[in-house]
A and B are shown apart, each in its own frame.
Chain A
Amino acid sequence: MIKKPGSQSRLKKSVLEQSLCTGCGACVGLCPYQVIYADRTVQLFDCDLPDGKCYAFCPRTPADHNHIRKSLFDVNDLTPEIGAVKGYYFSRALNPRLRADVQHGGTVTALLELAMGEGVIDSAIVSSRSEDFEQCGLLVTDQIQLRRHSKSWFTVSPTLAAFNRIPDDRKKRTGVVATPCQAMALAKMKTAEIPGNSGSDFPGLVIGLFCGWTLSMEKFHNLLARYGITEADLTGMDIPAGKNILELFTAGGLLSVPMAEVDHCVRTACRYCMDSTAEFADLSVGAARFGTDCEEMRGWNQIMVRSDRGKELIELAVAKQVLQLREASAQALRELKRAAAEKKKKALKNIVEKSRSAKNLLYLKSDDPIVRRYLSVDKKRKGKS
């Protein structure tokens, strides 16, 4: 009898060795066999279990995304470009002190503070920066602490490892701030049909972050070195709309890095990602940048409400005067959709380039309606493969 290959070795072969690992942390913290070191997923020892959670939860192992979409969202809300949409707004925290401390409009921090304050959740997993300036997931049980972890550092944070480490009964009452790949991993945790998975109703809340890419730690480190600084010198980072630069805030002043240089530092896995808006979250939040004056919108977020749970939280935020909402224009939504569709096309093109076949889409299924919609088939290549 041929033994079914272990989940871990399949994960290694189909994700890690293919440079598809996003470093999200979904396969870490479940067991002693996998850890994150710097921004790499490292398999320490061999595990031979055939139906492991690591393979099932990884956002880059094949799964029926259409089934996941339909089971987690109202089918009437689904759009091909940006997933489920119940509402689309510009938002910012009403508390100006909160806004001063955080990235953009402070919407994520304000929503988490509200959700914890109102007992929707009693703890949150956020991304934190370690002493070594590495990103890691942090369980926050005191809402006062949230503001300390409210900035974006553009490198991957294995946030889900921290989520995996908390006890199941607590996961239901925990909110997670997630990048698109992490939101997908959480969606797989909710839906994966493998022995011992009890994840159907957790986490309690997923606040997704818009994400175009993350930086490879090593490459970014080398880039900073070229600018004569280290991670320790950074006090903040941002990509202002329309300027095509990455801004690095340091005690010594602002450094602007042209995006062409930044592109070289992007994590390889991000090039194969179709999702820029965290389609599998309850709510998705990004910097406001569509259809309005750029500088005016710098202190605002855009927010996408996707699920009933997300909708309830936004309504609560308005009622409790935590968030200020502005209806986004139809043009803003059109621009967002166009940008999201571009990302999907680009990712699929990169995938086909990597696999050298339009029939082999790595972690994506060619019969997925979204994939079919955005896969531009190169006729010549198709003939060959």
Chain B
Amino acid sequence: MSKLLSSDKSTVLFLGNEAIARGALEAGIEVATGYPGTPSSEVIESLAGVARERNLYVEWSVNEKVALEVAAAASFAGLRSMAVMKQNGVNVASDFLLHLTASGTRGGIVLVSCEDPGALSSVNEGESRYFASMLEMPLLEPADFQEAKDITKWAFELSEAIGNVVMLRSVTRMSHASGNVTCGKLPTKRRKASFQYDGPVMDSQTGPMISTPVVAKHLLRQQRLKDVQRMFDESPFNRYTGPAKPQLLIITSSACFLYSCEAVEMLGLEKKVGILKLATTWPLPSKLLEKTLRKTKKILIVEEVMPFLEENVKVMVTGIVDRIGIKTFFGKYDGTLPSVGELNPDIVADAVGRILKVKRKSLPADYQTDVQKTAALIPVREQTFCAGCPHRASFWNIHNAIALDGRKGFVCGDIGCYSMAALSPATGYHTMPTLHSMGSGTGLAGGFAKLGQFGLDQPILTVCGDSTFYHAVIPALINAQHNRADITFIVLDNAGTAMTGFQPHPGLSVSALKDVVPAVDIAAICKAIGAKVAISDPFDLAATGRILTSFLADKGSLKVLILRQACALSPEKKGKKTFDIKVDEALCLGDACGCNRLCTRIFRCPALTWDRDKKKAVVDEVICAGCGVCASICPQQAIVKTEVITPG
């Protein structure tokens, strides 16, 4: 049995995302949807794993907007549902979200946004909390694993109490860390889905689910938010710890609460610094805040990414300053805390120390030199494609086609493992100078392609992954075709949403629930819109190169090349080599004229290493995935591939 279904009162070690999933199960969730994105993916994966036993409907949707729409339908029919995404996914969902908060909801519905301060697994440091204030929906931020479970469960009740969607925000250090959680009861009763729509227009339970009359419904939403504020004032998830009259009050939420506790402890200031931990960061619990703010004059607000909490507390204080007196605020605005990146206990301790003029216990004198010595031993590792990654072969082909064409062509990048080609330019052979949101590579390419009349004479290429294709590329592709954009559009089809852990997507014939479902064929879609379509194996350098050079020379229209080769880490490939690869040292030219280490210096597969003593290339058999591409690039045929015969 999955640990997610552990019995009532048992204590289980849960990943933060598993705790969120368990909370949803305890709340009696029936529909869960999402689009994969670090650090959010494990919520849906965990729920998919227990879907059969709990009779849930769980879906990896085509994108976050559709995920929220599918979840909202369940809410409209009276069920509890959840849509899960990463921070920028909320932007994708936001158009529907604007209208959803306006129409209101029925069954409890929670939007979970798992965010990535410091952009550890993102190309943005997006912040979705502002959507809560902008769209007037309650925002909850758990600060530990037990809370992640308990607050998730409460979020559904809250949603039903106010008839609107509730947002729950986690961060990487919450979603991807683990802690003990004491489980509650899993409900046994199930709801029956039924959509009532013929009641009065303002009746949220029986009327039509629309945002009109807009002004009246907007007012209703604001009134409900006042109710929420009263509930938040009473919430046990908001609590103050510390002396009655602290020298400094820290107001914080989420993982920053843990950093703050640790910082205060590091400095030994438990008797001088108080911490107000807020789990409800929008709307703010005004009474609780007023009461707590009276305790002291100095306030430090600890939060990651944008100064959302700081701004809202300051706005609230301006209205009550005559009652609580003048306060001095520290945080991101005055530079006490960094305005970008992740926080950690050291950063918070330094900030507290500066405010209270307390020095941290200094480390032993030789600590720093020891750290430096140790750091020097750590091998420098660049971000790169894995050994056997089809993207390396694809970008090799793309680079060469651009070079042969000679007009300084470039690739508009997109989101996936292949983003590495932009993040670590040598990995993509310096071909991909743009990288934005999902699908925007194709949109940008379509735009560049229309600049011919202003003198731009560079071939325009763009790439997207198979999952990205369905997510947000199709409208841009149709736009390109319809507006006669001359672009070479390349789908790097590695048969799964590889970067986030092989979640299925509409191109595959399996669903999140492992059901057999119809696969939607990328080539057929591209042909249907009228594009010229070719399919190739990126490992076949000669064939792929020929298609690409002919596409670049074929001016005036949209060309689609689908490069099909499964990810080297995909379940069907992992650990299985197609070829055994060896270097024939007698043939290897090494760094002499005629090769100059092409494989280790330029091609740079991590399985190819350079033996400094022998001055020869070496294949690291442990890392090598046996794709055989390096054998095709070696000018001396010194890299020898032998087909692996699999027994049986």
Contact = CB atoms under 8 A, between A and B. Distances in A.
Interface centre among B400, B429, B591 (most CB of A within 10 A): B400
B635 A31 contact: yes
Given A35-B404, A42-B403, A42-B406, A30 B593 contact: yes
B594 to A, nearest CB: 5
Interface stretch (A48-56, A175-183, A371-379): A48-56
Contact of A37 (B399, B406, B633): B406
Given A44-B403, A45-B598, A32 B633 contact: yes
A53 B403 contact: no
Contacts of B635: 31-32
B629 to A, nearest CB: 13
Given A32-B635, A45-B602, A40 B593 contact: no
Nearest to B591: A49
A49 B403 contact: no
A195 B591 CA distance: 12
B404 A49 contact: no
A31 B599 CA distance: 12
Interface string B609-633: 0000000000000000000000001
A32 B595 contact: yes
A53 B404 CA distance: 21
A43 interface: yes
A31 to B, nearest CB: 5
A44 B549 CA distance: 14
Interface in B362-401: 399-400
Q: Specify the main secondary structure of chain A where it touches its partner.
A: loop
A196 B591 CA distance: 12
Interface string B562-601: 0000000000000000000000000000011111101000
Contact of A49 (B399, B593, B602): B593
Nearest to A165: B635
Contact of A43 (B403, B429, B549, B602): B403
Contacts of B592: 196
A47 interface: yes
A253 to B, nearest CB: 30
Contacts of A32: 595, 598, 633, 635
A220 to B, nearest CB: 16
A47 B601 CA distance: 9
Given A40-B406, A44-B399, A53 B593 contact: yes
A269 to B, nearest CB: 16
Contact of A52 (B403, B593, B602, B633): B593
Interface in A33-86: 33, 35, 37, 40, 42-49, 51-53
A325 to B, nearest CB: 42
A46 B429 CA distance: 11
A33 B596 CA distance: 9
B593 A51 contact: yes
Contact of A53 (B406, B594, B602): B594
A4 B83 CA distance: 59
A48 B595 CA distance: 11
A87 to B, nearest CB: 38
B594 A31 contact: yes
* Range, interface on chain A: 20 to 34
A46 B426 CA distance: 11
A43 B602 CA distance: 13
A303 B66 CA distance: 79
Contact of B596 (A42, A44, A48, A194): A48
Contact of B404 (A31, A42, A45, A46): A42
Nearest to A53: B593
A52 B556 CA distance: 40
A317 to B, nearest CB: 36
Nearest to A47: B596
Interface centre among B591, B595, B596, B598 (most CB of A within 10 A): B596
Nearest to A54: B593
Interface in A184-202: 194-196
A168 to B, nearest CB: 11
Contacts of B429: 45
Interface in B623-648: 633, 635
Contacts of A30: 593-594
A44 B591 CA distance: 17
Contacts of A48: 596
A51 B635 CA distance: 19
A279 B375 CA distance: 62
A52 B602 CA distance: 17
A267 to B, nearest CB: 15
A33 B594 CA distance: 9
A31 B406 contact: no
Nearest to B549: A37
A46 B592 CA distance: 14
B341 to A, nearest CB: 34
B219 to A, nearest CB: 65
B596 A49 contact: yes
A41 to B, nearest CB: 10
A132 B549 CA distance: 13
Contacts of A44: 399-400, 403-404
A45 B598 CA distance: 9
Nearest to A56: B593
Interface centre among A45, A46, A47 (most CB of B within 10 A): A45
B593 A196 contact: yes
Nearest to A43: B403
B608 to A, nearest CB: 14
Contacts of A195: 593
A47 to B, nearest CB: 5
Interface in A1-44: 30-33, 35, 37, 40, 42-44
Nearest to A29: B635
Interface string B392-433: 000000011001101000000000000000000000010000
20 contacts: A30-B594, A31-B595, A31-B598, A31-B635, A32-B598, A32-B633, A32-B635, A33-B596, A37-B406, A37-B549, A44-B403, A45-B429, A45-B598, A46-B602, A47-B596, A48-B596, A49-B596, A194-B593, A196-B592, A196-B594
Which 3 pairs across A and B sit closest by C-beta, in order of nearness?
A: A37-B404, A32-B635, A45-B602
Given A48-B596, A52-B593, A53-B594, 6 more contacts: A32-B598, A37-B404, A42-B406, A49-B591, A53-B593, A195-B593
